[in-house]
Structure 1
Amino acid sequence: MISDRKLEHLEICKNYDVEHHRTTGFEDVELVHRSLPEVDFDEIDTSIEFLGKKLDSPLIISAITGGHSASKEINESLAIASEKTNIAMGVGSQRAGITNPELTDTFTVVRDMAPHATIIGNIGAPQVEYAGSAIDMLDCDILAIHLNPLQEIIQPEGDINAKGFIDDIKEITQTVDIPIMAKETGAGISKKDAQILEKIGIDAIDIEGVGGTSWSAVETYRAENPNLGNLFWDWGITTAVSTVEVVESTDLPVISSGGIRNGLEAAKAISLGASGVGMALPFLKHAYNGPEYVEEKINQFTNELKTAMFLVGAENIKQLQEKRLIITGKTREILTELGIDTKKYARRI
């Protein structure tokens, strides 16, 4: 059953090592310190406008859960904190709640607890028939379409027929009247796929690259034979590389996620051109303790982000996106091979 799988996913993510052994690549990205920042820390503005919504922070709680009774309390904690801090929040795949009414409240609790927050719904690429129900269930502001071929191929009961996904996504974009965001689930998005998504009507892309939770790892713990999952544990495009490649190749807003764990890494992602950042696993672990712990983590993130902005002389997110930085190491090598001029970031003022 889907609900049993959701519970297994939660328990595995909570109790086992599920993160990539490769890093995000942000260790190769260095913001340039300003000894004369000419900024008042107390006046730094971290707000953004994302797909028509004004948010107090570029931080999004990425899709985590829903679809099992145990996830209701988690979503409640996340929603309460999101409402209080005015950040966006995503939910896990809504299919279980749509096909099983007994599980619907594991999702609807989010809107109940966060009536004013920006809520991001979630369906799979081939689930065209679920789009309207997913939106109605949460009165969501944005609908995410998750892309997870790696997870599906490792998952014991995975769907390994990916034919027709482009047409399915295009149909969804043409039939709903709220913004649509495409999101990976830990393997990153390439230039070619980003351009296809833009062409078929997607409004934003959440790249979710390598460096955070590996869904190949999660499914490895569930598989009878772990060999395939172990082999592809670190498969994908690092978060730093995917962020730059998608920003450079499309005009869409980009959410950088996948292993971002603090405000400094978020500042690097935004300086690379991201509109915002997503975090999931750290919030899952805090949500078990209650909404106040989630809010504490959000406030910690904001202070870290503002500190980085202060030290580079950025009064707002737009200025941070334009700040000088240096890209070195493996990340620079990969981007150079992809034909991207990394030196232009260093030539900024």
Structure 2
Amino acid sequence: MISDRKLQHLEICKNYDVEHHITTGFEDINLVHRSLPEVDFEEIDTSIELLGKKLDSPLIISAITGGHTESKRINENLAIATENTNIAMGVGSQRAGISNPELKDTFTIVRESAPHAVIIGNIGAPQVEYAPKAIEMLETDMLAIHLNPLQEIIQPEGDINAKGYVEHIKEICDSTNIPIIAKETGAGISMDDARILEKIGVDAIDIQGVGGTSWAAVETYRADNPHLGNLFWDWGITTAVSTIEVLESTNLPVISSGGIRNGLEAAKAIALGADCVGMALPFLKHAYMGHTYIEEKINQFTRELKTAMFLVGASNIDELKEKKLIITGKTREILNELEIDTKKYTRRI
């Protein structure tokens, strides 16, 4: 059953090592320190506008859960924290709540607990018929279409027929009246796929690259034979590289996610050009304790981000996007192989 699988996913993510063995690549992205920052820390503005919605911080609690009775309490705590801090929140795949009415409240608790917050719904690429119901269920502000071919191929009961994804996503884009976000689930998005997604009408891309939670790893713990999952544990594009690939190939808003764990890494992603960042696993572990713990984590993130902004002389997010960067190491090597000019990031004024 889908519900049982959702509970297994929660327990595995909470109790086992599910992160990639390789990093996001943000250790190769270096902000340039300013000894004369000429900003007042107390006046630094971290607010952004994402797809027409104003947020106090460029932070999204990425899709975590829903679809099992245990997830109701988690989503409630996440939603209350989201409401109290005016950030955005995504929910897990809504298929379980649509196909099983008894599980609907594990999702609807989000809107009940966060009546004014920006809530991002979630369905899979083949689930065209679920889109209207997913939007109605949560009065969603945006709808994410998750892309998870790696998870599906490792998952014991996975759907391994990926034919028609492009047409399905285009149909959802054409038939809905709210912004659509194409969202990977831990393997990153390439330049070629980003161009296709922009062409068929998505409004933003959440890259969710390698460096954070590996869903191949999660499914490895559920598989009878762990060989395949272990082999593909680190498959994909690192978050730093994927962020740049999508920025270089489209004009769409970009959500950088996948292993981002603090405000400094977020500052690096935004300085590259991302509009905001997503985090999931750190909030899951706080969500079991209550919404105040989540809010403390959010406030800590914001202070870390503002500190980085202070040290590079950025008084707001737009100014942070214009700051110089130095790209080194393996990330630079990969980008050079992709014929992406890294030097332009050091030429910014």
TM-score scaled by structure 2? 1.00
Whether 1:101 and 2:104 are equivalent positions in the alignment is no
Q: SS of the residue aligned with 2:210?
A: coil
Letter in 1 for 2:217: A
User: In structure 2, what is the Cα distance between the partners aligned to 1:45 and 1:248?
Assistant: 26
| Unmatched 5+ stretches in structure 1 | none
Matches within 5 A, 1:23-102: 23-102=23-102
Q: SS of the residue aligned with 1:70?
A: helix
User: In structure 2, what is the Cα distance between the partners aligned to 1:291 and 1:236?
Assistant: 33
User: In structure 2, what is the Cα distance between the partners aligned to 1:269 and 1:255?
Assistant: 9
Matches within 5 A, 1:285-324: 285-324=285-324
User: In structure 2, what is the Cα distance between the partners aligned to 1:340 and 1:314?
Assistant: 26
Q: SS of the residue aligned with 1:208?
A: coil
User: In structure 2, what is the Cα distance between the partners aligned to 1:320 and 1:109?
Assistant: 35
Deviation at 1:347, TM superposition (A): 1.1
Letter in 2 for 1:229: G
Matches within 5 A, 1:253-332: 253-332=253-332
User: In structure 2, what is the Cα distance between the partners aligned to 1:346 and 1:129?
Assistant: 46
User: In structure 2, what is the Cα distance between the partners aligned to 1:175 and 1:344?
Assistant: 39
Q: SS of the residue aligned with 1:282?
A: helix
Q: Deviations over 1:109-154 (max 9, x none)?
A: 0000000000000000000000000000000000000000000000
In the other structure, the counterpart of 2:15 is: 15
Letter in 2 for 1:26: F
User: In structure 2, what is the Cα distance between the partners aligned to 1:347 and 1:133?
Assistant: 48
In the other structure, the counterpart of 1:243 is: 243
Letter in 2 for 1:288: Y
User: In structure 2, what is the Cα distance between the partners aligned to 1:228 and 1:51?
Assistant: 39
Deviation at 1:60, TM superposition (A): 0.3
In the other structure, the counterpart of 1:336 is: 336
Identity of aligned residues (%): 83
User: In structure 1, what is the Cα distance between the partners aligned to 2:231 and 2:69?
Assistant: 33
Aligned residue pairs total: 349
Deviation at 1:348, TM superposition (A): 1.2
Q: SS of the residue aligned with 1:161?
A: coil
Q: Deviations over 1:257-293 (max 9, x none)?
A: 0000000000000001100000000000000000000
User: In structure 2, what is the Cα distance between the partners aligned to 1:192 and 1:343?
Assistant: 22
Q: SS of the residue aligned with 2:69?
A: coil
User: In structure 2, what is the Cα distance between the partners aligned to 1:264 and 1:122?
Assistant: 28
User: In structure 2, what is the Cα distance between the partners aligned to 1:149 and 1:321?
Assistant: 32
Q: SS of the residue aligned with 1:225?
A: coil
User: In structure 1, what is the Cα distance between the partners aligned to 2:52 and 2:185?
Assistant: 24
User: In structure 1, what is the Cα distance between the partners aligned to 2:24 and 2:165?
Assistant: 27
Deviation at 1:30, TM superposition (A): 0.4
Q: SS of the residue aligned with 1:264?
A: helix
Q: Deviations over 1:191-234 (max 9, x none)?
A: 00000000000000000000000000000000000000000000
User: In structure 2, what is the Cα distance between the partners aligned to 1:90 and 1:307?
Assistant: 26
Letter in 2 for 1:79: A
In the other structure, the counterpart of 2:186 is: 186
User: In structure 1, what is the Cα distance between the partners aligned to 2:273 and 2:330?
Assistant: 19
Please list every run of at least 4 consecutive aligned residues from structure 1 whose deviation after the TM superposition is greater than 2 angstroms: none
Q: SS of the residue aligned with 1:202?
A: coil
Whether 1:148 and 2:148 are equivalent positions in the alignment is yes
In the other structure, the counterpart of 1:231 is: 231
RMSD: 0.3
| Unmatched 5+ stretches in structure 2 | none
Q: Deviations over 1:173-192 (max 9, x none)?
A: 00010000000000000000
Q: Deviations over 1:37-81 (max 9, x none)?
A: 000000000000000000000000000000000000000000000
In the other structure, the counterpart of 2:124 is: 124
In the other structure, the counterpart of 2:218 is: 218
